[in-house]
Structure 1
Amino acid sequence: MQPKIDVSVIIPVFNAQATIGHQVHGLLSEQTLSIEVIVVDDGSTDETSTILSAITDERLILVHQENQGVYAARNAALAVHRGEWVVFLDADDRIEDGFLRERLKSARAAQADVALFNGWYTDSSCLQRRPVHRKQPYAQALNGHAWIQHCVAQKEWPHYLWLQMVRSSYIRKNNLRFQEGKSHKDILWTINLAAANGLFYFADRKDYFYITNPASITHRQDYYDIRAHSYIDVISDILALSSLPQHNEIRKPLRRHALVECRHFLGLFRRKIANRQAARQLFRQRIALRQLIAGVSSLSDLFFVLKLVRKIYL
């Protein structure tokens, strides 16, 4: 019989030689829990694979694949993980000491399906920082539908994967997987996580440092079109989810949130992307204006939809 594993830590990596060794060694220094660290090397061309192969700890599981993107990498890890709980990390960020131990303690005490924590936006020095979120129902538990309603009402949707500790049985029961693609699919994962309507617990424990990197791929000029097209996927899928009969309770909030993602898309469309005609055509093919209108709940929303009509639909 295989020993019980408390937490599966899933880390997709691509050319992360500068950070991945330190991060994995830090995780493996945890001795109070039974863990596995699943690192999916997504076609790295630097020394990432060499660094990982040199770590002999049996708790480290290496998966190698051709470059398919972070979401495909996470799906590959989900397919083989064995832990009771799942945590997603990025290869270049930092965590507090006791990160896994304290998260697991909170999640188990709350008997939650999903526990959400907090973190810091910071730079490489970690000296200047601000909280990732401020308006969550801390020290409370809500079902997923109520959380969607809360986030939409508060205009704060903390979808980042590294905030989450998720019960594995909840992932399997609801057949949750990442939509594969280049960008923004963590938004869909989190919405589907909440739409499944399990029990969510919220802690204002800031145990993760999200290090902003102006040189990252998401800020490259040639990546803005990819991001815009990914937003179209996200908006389309949110609207499709809102139309399902079992989601009557959250239909309006989901459509309101689709408008939020439309604002992000339009920001890229107006200032960043190169091929506006292709983005405009795809948006019109995938997204029905009548569904967006159904999400309008304020004058601000109405004015935005009119702007969207002028830029995209006319």
Structure 2
Amino acid sequence: MKHEQQKDISVIIPVYNAAATLGGLIHSLLNEQAVNMEVIVVDDGSTDETWAELCAITDERLITLRQENQGVYAARNAALAIHRGEWVVFLDADDQITGDFLQERLRTARETQVDVVVFNGWHVSSTGERRHTVHRKQLYGQILTGYEWIRHCVRQREWPHYLWLQMVRSAYIRENNQRFQPGKSHKDILWTVQLATGNGRFYFADRKDYFYVSNPASITHRRDYYDIRAVSYIDLIAEILALSAQPQHRAIRCSLVRHALVESRHFLGLYRRKVDNPQVLRMQFRQRISLCQLLPGVNSLSDVFFFLKLVHKLCLPLRRQRVHTLK
């Protein structure tokens, strides 16, 4: 018999200055009367009317936490520490969902009896126009192990790491002792890689139940945030390489290194065109990551050209500087 405190689903929503959009999302969730849920909203130090909006909603299924600004990943960890759901869903406060969102996700999760279900969604403009689906190359209607999924994503060069696509069994999170690493960006990618390296059962549903609203004013597009994103990519690449070196992941070592090489492309894109402190970032990359570690991930002519470009950008300038100093 189910404990009376246990819920079917815990919905976790970190928020920061989301007063304009948060109410609509919460009411959409609470309108689903058929699902035994809890909605945990963590206000991460908002300075607008977000907390007042939350306090105005009187529903015992809504649980609110308030903390000083520590970042979105710390907010999610705070919710994970108290959640009671059999399944966990992560949402963002400024996006939108379809009707019967939770009921349909729960039905799929129970029918497939897996550890993680990955759904689909739409990229939507700020005016509401549907642009394209979030992913197109997943093995819909199939169950894969985490290792099989990693190999597939690397082969297809499509890694659907978005948290709001996932529905994760709480027992699987606990079994893998999984939490979000502190930081400001890209820890959702690491969370998903770690989910997959747990090698549980994953199911892929091409149900487009989430609308990811593109926001040009988002912090990730701010000029002063590019260096922070670049540092986060360095952390991410180093962590993936560390996972690849663990003996239990020997079977997917090459795939993990190839994925680290893909993330290195993203780092280099920021480094070459957008960051303010390339010298500092170059040194941080070299301190954390050996290019020799990435070499096993080279798998195509395109990878060869990229790897040479990476060497040129991150190594040759330093050598030239040393030569100039010696003169």
Q: Which of residues 2, 7, 10 is equivalent to 1:8?
A: 10
Tell me the equivalent position of 1:292. Answer: 294
Tell me the equivalent position of 1:301. Answer: 303
1:313 Cα offset (Å): 2.0
- State how 1:82-101 maps to structure 2 within 5 Å: 82-101=84-103
- State how 1:182-221 maps to structure 2 within 5 Å: 182-221=184-223
Tell me the equivalent position of 2:52. Answer: 50
TM-score normalised to structure 1 length? 0.99
Q: Does the 8 Å contact 2:135/2:160 carry over to 1?
A: yes
Tell me the equivalent position of 1:261. Answer: 263
1:248 Cα offset (Å): 0.6
SS of alignment partner, residue 294 of structure 1? helix
SS of alignment partner, residue 180 of structure 1? coil
Amino acid in the other structure paired with 2:289 = I
Amino acid in the other structure paired with 1:223 = Y
Distance across 2 between alignment mates of 1:26 and 1:110: 25
Amino acid in the other structure paired with 2:41 = V
1:22 Cα offset (Å): 1.2
SS of alignment partner, residue 208 of structure 1? strand
Q: Does the 8 Å contact 2:5/2:84 carry over to 1?
A: no
Tell me the equivalent position of 2:325. Answer: none
Distance across 1 between alignment mates of 2:11 and 2:269: 34
Distance across 2 between alignment mates of 1:111 and 1:69: 33
Amino acid in the other structure paired with 1:293 = L
1:284 Cα offset (Å): 0.2
Distance across 1 between alignment mates of 2:135 and 2:128: 17
Distance across 1 between alignment mates of 2:267 and 2:292: 18
1:224 Cα offset (Å): 0.3
Residue-pair matches, total: 314
Q: Which runs of 5+ in 1 are unaligned?
A: none
Distance across 1 between alignment mates of 2:260 and 2:203: 24
Distance across 2 between alignment mates of 1:230 and 1:242: 18
Tell me the equivalent position of 2:323. Answer: none
Q: Which of residues 150, 155, 158 is equivalent to 1:156?
A: 158
1:74-130 CA-to-partner distances (Å, cap 9, x unmatched) read 000000000000000000000000110101101110101000000000112322321
1:302 Cα offset (Å): 1.1
Tell me the equivalent position of 1:59. Answer: 61
Distance across 2 between alignment mates of 1:126 and 1:148: 32
Distance across 1 between alignment mates of 2:274 and 2:157: 24
1:25 Cα offset (Å): 1.2
Q: Does the 8 Å contact 2:122/2:130 carry over to 1?
A: no
Amino acid in the other structure paired with 1:111 = Q
Tell me the equivalent position of 1:177. Answer: 179
Distance across 1 between alignment mates of 2:315 and 2:198: 33
1:248-267 CA-to-partner distances (Å, cap 9, x unmatched) read 11100000000100000000
1:142 Cα offset (Å): 0.2
Quote the sequence identity (%).
69
Superposed CA RMSD in Å reads: 0.8
Tell me the equivalent position of 2:312. Answer: 310
1:4 Cα offset (Å): 3.0
1:103 aligns with 2:118: no
Tell me the equivalent position of 2:233. Answer: 231
Tell me the equivalent position of 1:278. Answer: 280
Q: Does the 8 Å contact 2:19/2:53 carry over to 1?
A: yes
SS of alignment partner, residue 84 of structure 1? strand
Q: Does the 8 Å contact 2:34/2:103 carry over to 1?
A: yes
Amino acid in the other structure paired with 1:193 = L
Distance across 1 between alignment mates of 2:163 and 2:88: 10
1:213-236 CA-to-partner distances (Å, cap 9, x unmatched) read 111100000000000000000000
Distance across 2 between alignment mates of 1:93 and 1:65: 22
Tell me the equivalent position of 1:35. Answer: 37
- State how 1:232-251 maps to structure 2 within 5 Å: 232-251=234-253
Q: Which runs of 5+ in 2 are unaligned?
A: 317-327
TM-score normalised to structure 2 length? 0.95
SS of alignment partner, residue 45 of structure 1? coil
Distance across 1 between alignment mates of 2:19 and 2:34: 28
Distance across 2 between alignment mates of 1:127 and 1:47: 28
- State how 1:72-91 maps to structure 2 within 5 Å: 72-91=74-93
Runs of 4+ in 1 over 6 A off after TM superposition: none
